[in-house]
Copies of this chain bind each other. A is one copy, B any other.
Amino acid sequence: MRPHTHNTIRENMLSRIQSGEWALGDKIPVETSLAQEYGCARATVNRALQSLADQGLLIRKRKGGTRVCKLPVRYAKFEIPVIREHVEALGSVYHHKILDMKLSSSTASIRERLRLDTKDKVLRVDTLHMADGHAFAYEERWINIAAVPAILNAPLEQISANEWLVKEVPFSNGDVIFSAIGADKTTAKALETHIGTALFTVERTTWSLDEFITTMKLYYKEGYQLRSRL
């Protein structure tokens, strides 16, 4: 193995930051100096520095040089999985049940979230996701028929709308909102719990190429925890 790849250089730089050799706010040497120090090409140093800058540890400015970020912005990254895979990753057997499904006109709030016209139709699907036969999460979903007409012929009893959309829609952008909410009558019944129980919820709206696809709200069974690394 070469002694100094962009990877080992990045790690070395990270430890120089962690150890305080490059203190918060400090200007660090220019790329050409570092290339000389590490005995490699400037492009290699550049790649390592860019990677650290992407992570938010460094701020780089032309002419201004590179500085260690004073208040490094930290990110928590959550994988947004297909719920079936999530349940299976937890070691349980997954299945789902459609509680309600109907084609209807959109309500005002859904129209706003999906940027729809009054005349547009939406497919409303309520799904209960289950792990080992017990309620895991309750999903309320609205789908823009105009964007994915094929959903009307999808075997949603076999494959949940969640999974079908992930597999059929090429790529999408989305908003996510996490919050806590007390269970209402509907969600309490679906999740076999009491009204008022604190539930972890995720709302997600997705679109692709400027067309709105779907919006959903997911209520997790009480006690659910979403874990991640900084």
0/1 string, A161-180, CB within 8 A of B gives 1: 00000110011111111111
Q: Which stretch (A77-85, A93-101, A138-146) binds chain B?
A: A77-85
A225 and B174 contact, Cβ closer than 8 Å, known pairs A81-B73, A197-B182: no
Copies in the complex: 2
Q: Are A79 and B73 in contact (CB under 8 A)?
A: yes
- Does any Cβ of B come within 8 Å of A31's Cβ? no
1-52 of chain A: CB within 8 A of chain B:
14-15, 17-20, 23-24
User: Closest CB of chain B to A163's CB: distance in Å?
Assistant: 9
177-230 of chain A: CB within 8 A of chain B:
177-182, 196-201, 204, 206, 208-209, 220, 222-230
* Docked pose: A79 CA to B172 CA in angstroms: 21
- Chain B residues near A102 (CB-CB < 8 A): none
- Chain B residues near A85 (CB-CB < 8 A): 71
Q: Are B80 and A76 in contact (CB under 8 A)?
A: yes
Choose from B78, B171, B182 the contact partner of A78 (Cβ within 8 Å). B78
- Chain B residues near A182 (CB-CB < 8 A): 196-198
A75 and B73 contact, Cβ closer than 8 Å, known pairs A178-B225, A227-B177: no
- Chain B residues near A70 (CB-CB < 8 A): 167
A226 and B179 contact, Cβ closer than 8 Å, known pairs A24-B170, A167-B24, A170-B24: yes
Q: Are A227 and B57 in contact (CB under 8 A)?
A: no
- Does any Cβ of B come within 8 Å of A149's Cβ? no
* Docked pose: A19 CA to B210 CA in angstroms: 12
A230 and B209 contact, Cβ closer than 8 Å, known pairs A166-B71, A198-B198: no
- Does any Cβ of B come within 8 Å of A133's Cβ? no
Q: Are A171 and B72 in contact (CB under 8 A)?
A: yes
A74 and B225 contact, Cβ closer than 8 Å, known pairs A180-B198, A200-B180: no
A57 and B171 contact, Cβ closer than 8 Å, known pairs A74-B79, A78-B78, A199-B198: yes
Q: Are B200 and A179 in contact (CB under 8 A)?
A: yes
Question: What are 10 A-B residue pairs whose CB atoms fall within 8 Å in the complex?
Answer: A14-B171, A19-B170, A74-B79, A74-B80, A78-B78, A80-B230, A175-B230, A177-B225, A177-B227, A198-B198
